[in-house]
A and B are shown apart, each in its own frame.
Chain A
Amino acid sequence: MSGLLKLKTAAELRQIYLRHEMFPTIFCDGCGLGNVLNYTLWALDELQLDLDRTVFVSGIGCSSRLSGYVNADGMHTTHGRALAFASGIKAAQPDLNVIVFTGDGDGSGIGGNHLLHTIRRNMDLTVILVNNFTYGMTGGQAAPTTPIDSFSTTTPYGNIEYPLDICALAQTLGAPYVARWMINQPYPPIKSIAQGIQKRGFALIEMLVPCPTAYGRRNGLKQLETIWQWYRDHTILIDDYEHIMHFGSPDERAALHDKIKIGIFQDCERESFEARWAALVEQVKL
């Protein structure tokens, strides 16, 4: 990979990668899903991937609209089953690059079981899991990632359930590449998505995306500036977090309890399903 990003202009990018008849996007004011698509396309551009050999798979939800905007083959599948469809594509055609767009409700709630088992199998997929803390498209119900004490349509008196940390789950299951980013800074997610695509094995990139309409409106974060600033205030880079936990004063450590860690959590090598499958086919061949 090149050391420095050589960016084209957005005008050139949208000429190559986007389906113009689908635009303008359906996303609300202040939603960051467009940014996720933007960063994914910059990452594709950095790697110079062939769009004819790339498949975009998505489930149901706001985030899953993203695959429709890219000028490549894609599947818009049933709720939560994006990873199951993607596994099928990858198993049938291992030389395709498969990128999955999924949301927190779609990927970790309804399709939580598929997430577990696709990571366990170590399919060579790049999963961009967009976390906006809520089921945005269906009207703001509480998702597995909704923070404790926050309000939603199904938790009008505050959420009493502990949220799921998707990155910690993927790390425990041994996914080769696990990262979480927020969308305020463009360059780390672009680099990270490019690394995830290059990784042989399951790469999970969780993107924290503000949702002012369904989540923010009920939690005092309706204004665009407020919700984007909330993400800036409530995230901390993993290196800084560990540094403060080691050397910080008790007050500094106490200030970290409600912050979300961002950064690359796991980057290791593990033999993927395709490699083991090819070896097995070679071994039992008559």
Chain B
Amino acid sequence: MHVIELNEHWCKGCRVCVFHCPTKSLRIASRFTMRGIHPPELVEAERCNGCRLCELLCPDFAITVMEAVSVNA
């Protein structure tokens, strides 16, 4: 399981991460950020394999992919 952390002040909603995602687990959200853009969101966390391509390809250093660690484990 992975989660993405988004720096909403830096993301400009260019969709580079969305159309490069190899597992198609990202999509453009319908909500707006404070900058008035639609940010990407992780739609299916199970499908994300943590390849970190979105993190490496983000031109604005906005995405960080993190592994979700369960509290009970």
Contact = CB atoms under 8 A, between A and B. Distances in A.
Interface string B43-73: 0000000001101111111111110000000
Contacts of B28: none
A10 B11 CA distance: 13
Contact of B55 (A10, A30, A31, A34): A10
Contacts of A25: 10, 12, 59-60
B32 interface: no
A10 B64 contact: yes
A69 B52 CA distance: 23
A113 B63 CA distance: 40
Contact of B59 (A7, A14, A31, A225): A31
A135 interface: no
Interface in A204-230: 224-225, 228
A32 interface: yes
Place the interface of chain A in its size category.
20 to 34
B16 A224 contact: yes
B21 interface: no
Contacts of A33: 59
A173 to B, nearest CB: 32
A13 B16 contact: no
Place the interface of chain B in its size category.
20 to 34
Contacts of B56: 7, 38-39, 42, 186
Contact of A7 (B5, B9, B52): B52
B57 to A, nearest CB: 6
Contacts of B66: 9
A11 interface: yes
A10 B59 contact: no
Contact of B60 (A11, A34, A184, A225): A34
B26 to A, nearest CB: 14
Given A224-B19, A228-B19, A10 B12 contact: no
A29 B14 contact: yes
Given A10-B64, A38-B61, A23 B16 contact: no
B53 to A, nearest CB: 7
A24 B11 CA distance: 8
Interface string A6-36: 0101110110001000011101011111110
Given A9-B66, A11-B7, 18 more contacts: A9-B55, A10-B62, A23-B60, A24-B9, A24-B11, A25-B10, A25-B60, A29-B14, A33-B59, A34-B61, A38-B56, A38-B58, A184-B20, A186-B53, A224-B14, A224-B15, A224-B16, A224-B19
Q: Give me the 7 closest cross-chain CB pairs, A-B, nearest first.
A: A34-B59, A186-B56, A29-B14, A11-B64, A14-B61, A24-B10, A10-B64
18 contacts: A7-B56, A9-B65, A9-B66, A10-B58, A10-B61, A10-B62, A23-B9, A24-B10, A24-B35, A25-B12, A25-B60, A27-B59, A32-B59, A34-B61, A35-B58, A42-B56, A186-B57, A228-B16
